[in-house]
Structure 1
Amino acid sequence: MKRILLIFVIALGLSQTTKAQAVITAVPCDMLGMVMNVGSQETSINIYHSGQSMTFPQSENIFMWEFTDQQGNILHQDTLVDESTIIFGHNWSLTDTINVTVHFVNDSANLDNWYINQGLPTNGNSINCLFEDQIYWETGAPTPWGSWTFIHNNPGVDLNTPTGIFNIFPNNKQLIKIVDLLGRESKGFKNQPLFYIYDDGTVEKRIIIE
C-alpha cells in the first residue's frame, strides 16, 4: 500500500511539474503592440506597450524606444526596464509625422510553452521583438479635440526568425488554426482581431472589416 501511495505521489508531482512547465510566459511578437494613451497631449507622449504585461519575468523586460523625424533625426531616446509605458514632453510641430521604433527583449523569456500549447515545434528563442510605426496629430471624429495617433498599427516582428523557405515562399505554409485574443479557436468572425497560426510557427494578426 505504501509503495502504491509513493508511486501516486511521484506521479502527481510529475503531473504538477508538467503543468507548471506548460504555463505560457510569453506570446509571439505579432500578438503584441503599442497603444497611445489618453494622456498624450499636444506637447506630451504617453504610449503603452503590451509586452510588459504579456511577458515574464517582467523584471527583465527591456524596451529600447526611439523617436525620429522624417529626416532620421533622433527626437527622443530612452531605455526602460520593467515599465509598460513611456511618457515624456516634447516641442514637436503638430504637422509633423514621427517615426516610432521600440526594440523589446527579454533573454529569460521564450515562446516554447506557447508553441507547445498550440501544438507547434519549439525553438528555444528568447524574446527579441522589433516594433516600427508612425504617429501624427489627428483631429476630427472620433477625436475632435486632437490626439497623437498611430498610422499603421503594425504588429511586432520577431528578430529571431531565420530567413528560410517559408520566408522566400510564404504561400507554402499551411494554416493550422485561428484563435481570438483569449486563445479560443475561432471560425474567422468579422470586426474583431484574430490570430492565424501556421505550421511554420508564424502568426498573423488580422481584422476583417465588414
Structure 2
Amino acid sequence: MLKLYEYSRSGNCYKIRLLLTQLNIPFTKIEIDILKGESRTTEFLLKNPNGRIPVLEIEPGEFLFESNAIMFYLSEGTEFFPCDKFERAQVMQWLFFEQYSHEPFIATSRFWYMTGKVEEYQEALQQKQAPGYAALGVMEQHLANHAFFVGDRYTIADIGLFAYTHVAGEGGFDLTGFPAIQTWINRVENQPRSISITHLN
C-alpha cells in the first residue's frame, strides 16, 4: 500500500490526499510534524534529502517528493490528466504557475498566520500581498471564460491551484473580488469523492 508522509494542514499534502481519495486508491497516512522538525531528521532525509513534505512511498524504499510531481505520477493514464499533448502541456503550465507565481505568496502567508507569526513577518506579509493578488488576477481572468483550467474539465491543474486558493483567506487574502474563482472553488468542492483540507483519512 502507498504511504503518504505529510503534514495534514499543508495544502501541498492536501493535493495528494485529495487526488488519492478521488482516484479511490488506498493509502496509509503518516503524519510528519514539520513544526517539531520531524522532516529534518536523519531518518526522514533518507526519504527526501530536501527535508520537505509530502513524500509518497510507492514501494518499500522507493520515494517520490514534490507535490506536483506526485500528482503527475498518480494521475497519468487517468481522467485527471489529459491524453492530448497540448492539454498535457497546459496542465504542466498551470502547475508551474502554481509553484512559482502563486504558492510562494499565498501559501507562505497562510503558514505564517497558521503558526502565529503575523507580527514577526508583518513586513514580509505586506510584500506578498501584491504578487499574491496578481496570481489570483491571472486565475480570475482565465476562469471568467472557463469552467476549469484545462480542457474545461477537472484535472490535476485544478487540484494544484485549489489547494491553497480555497484557503487563501487564512493567509490574509480576500476573495470577494474574485467571483469566477469563488464559483470555481464551489465547482471543485462538488467533484465526486471530494474531501476537505481538514478531513483526516
TM-score (norm. length: structure 2): 0.25
TM-score (norm. length: structure 1): 0.24
Q: Compare relative contact order (CA 8 Å, sep 6+) and give the higher one, 1 or 2.
A: 2
The structure with the greater share of residues assigned to strand is 1
Larger radius of gyration: 1
